[in-house]
Chain A
């Protein structure tokens, strides 16, 4: 590429033949309007804190980005060039979720900024990624991954710079017309670095001793992500997902609040779900994706998935919400203090929880679900939720639905449309017949 700092018109005077060159070899000679000649190599220098703006247009993101994680793709999808963040207390599975995204997401390049991370966790990526295969290309994951390794003991200025370095690398690849996924773990540590530096410079502290301009710094950073049309007609994108680790899981602290204003998708990890081992512990009711409200996205979804998809997603969310309300009532009034219908409503939401939301990141099949399969399963489950059943007592309800869930779970664990998958599906049909009301 011609260095980003060049402005105006240049003519390519000469260029080397295809072949192998080192990054410092002379690749081309450019002639400017004034007749001055410049030699170009493959190396570029760029100050990391300044965005690279060598694109023609930056429209609102409209293409969905497939991540293979159901709770994201189905309920709150992220777009190519979109921004999202994952807040959650320690031990809720932030890092596992980010690792899952980095392994499966449909991107040409994945850039991981390990910002102030534990050295042992960085070692894990070093050791694992060269072994793992990229399901989309069949090559090793490490080939499409860049890791910015900034461990916690490194100087504070390096920690501050690490996320900017990652973003600049992402923008560099975007200018080549590639789809980039940028992950930062964790932006709280970055914010702490900002705090430490502002303290050292003896600035008066803002809330929780963070610098006063923290919200501005964070939103400027998130604004660097995006989908762009390049000057040569191609498109590229930087999708950014950051994690935030609020102290004690309190979402009312400055870093979470400022990030909430900047990012368009919010994946709240809940301690309660993590405690009961419902992973990924993304809370379906607290979380949101603003992209679902975009006309462009709605149009794209209708064309690429199905016309009814968004209605289905809204319906699934409503069932989850109703399930939560009903379960609170059951807790207050006791199991036999509510009508049997309440239990049925609750268990219908549990089906969505167990089959769509929960996903086994360590299972070979279940860890990544293509959108086609997600669509199939969601339709299947909504069909079940639409049925009415005959029950005599609330104890039967739990027993019966546990069987349904178990069967659907086995389907999740089986290869898509394999014999096993079909076998479990048939079993499911016969279970459903047992109690289905006409």
Chain B
């Protein structure tokens, strides 16, 4: 940051914690950037003329007489088509050299779109994964997280969804990514030849944790540029929001705030909502869709982070390892997409809602039968058939390595129905059965 003439330089820091420092200054705004000893910092608290700065890279090595210069503006990002294909750090600077991004400078973290200026989300996002497309269809303008345990392959699934979705731009916000995962995303996007429609803002575990607080706002500012100015369909991937929330907790803890539930800051709900509510469908065609990852500890969804997230997002996706088939599946019971009603049966084939419900209901019968088996009861013929059906349903439709279009998924479901069940057991509306029940391999 170059120094300008007549710039006020403060040199007396009154208090330093691990992530923040305080000093007396006037004429400073909330969220304003500053440099402390040449390192970037942001105003997070103002009491009278006492200003608290959050130093992104940590406060190690900052002396009490360090030079503090206020820059007079909140963090900004330069937006232009130049962004495409770039890997940027949390400040919007290129990660591995390369030229600076040029373009219009915009403040990050602005307000989200007013509900009366929004359009109802209505366009299906096809991912080819039946656990998503068939049971939990995604819609443009939706916000939905994966609730996953750290050992599950959520980054892989997310990269797959991103590449298959017909989005004009994919924006990756990586928070606390391990370097390996960062390279994984880079390779996958590179190999797919999709680099020109991808923008990445990455904070890896090698960077200071507090820096990652900037990542979602950076990613969403870029997304807003493409969706609003360029009317493009933008998909934003945020991984991992739990680490983002942890960074919030670090800062609030250092500022002596009283911790709320699970040691999280009291404002967690507002902080998360500010990010997720940026998902929007504009009337003129542009849209921002957010797919995030929230890692759970031991599958506990009552923890403050997943709990607050669940209030804000439009559903959640669960991954689970199915030991019967040895593959990871999208859990049909716990996963939910709240916006699927807007598209299924409307943009997909008419039988979609009924087939979806029937398939899940029969799968539920299978899990009842499994409980019966475990408790040592005899299985009826129907129970046996549901178990066989469940295995094939899991393998051919729920597994995340499936890649087919929705019509094909529905056809497979009908085939499984006719193979294992009678029409009455499936219980779908008569006219649909007449139209789609495959007669050739009918056994009953």
Contact = CB atoms under 8 A, between A and B. Distances in A.
* Co-assembled chains A and B: yes
Interface of A: 90-91, 116, 118-124, 126-127, 149, 151-153, 155-156, 186, 188-189, 192-193, 195-196, 198-200, 202-205, 208-209, 245, 247-248, 250, 275-277, 334-335
Given A90-B336, A153-B111, A205-B258, A123 B277 contact: no
Given A199-B260, A209-B261, A122 B273 contact: no
B111 A116 contact: no
Contact of A91 (B116, B259, B336): B336
Interface of B: 111-113, 115-116, 118-121, 141-143, 257-261, 265-267, 269-270, 273-274, 276-281, 301-302, 307-308, 310-316, 333, 336, 338-339, 357, 361, 364, 377-378, 380
Given A91-B336, A200-B266, A275-B364, A126 B116 contact: yes
Contact of A119 (B266, B277, B336): B277
B305 to A, nearest CB: 11
A119 B115 contact: yes
6 contacts: A119-B277, A120-B279, A193-B269, A204-B258, A209-B266, A247-B302
B266 A124 contact: no
Nearest to A208: B261
B259 to A, nearest CB: 8
Given A121-B338, A152-B273, 18 more contacts: A90-B316, A90-B336, A91-B315, A91-B336, A116-B269, A118-B143, A118-B338, A119-B113, A120-B279, A120-B339, A186-B311, A195-B266, A196-B269, A199-B257, A200-B266, A204-B258, A209-B259, A277-B357
Nearest to A362: B341
A153 B143 CA distance: 13
Contacts, number: 118
Q: Which 5 pairs of residues, A with B, have the shortest CB-CB distance?
A: A199-B266, A153-B277, A152-B273, A248-B302, A209-B260
Nearest to A118: B314
B361 A119 contact: no
A118 B338 CA distance: 11
Contacts of B267: 156, 196, 199-200
B377 A334 contact: yes
B191 to A, nearest CB: 34
A122 B252 CA distance: 32
A196 B281 CA distance: 29
B276 A152 contact: yes
B135 to A, nearest CB: 13
Contacts of A193: 269
A205 B257 CA distance: 12
B270 to A, nearest CB: 5
A195 to B, nearest CB: 6
Contact of A245 (B113, B311, B333, B357): B311
A90 B316 CA distance: 10
Contacts of B113: 119
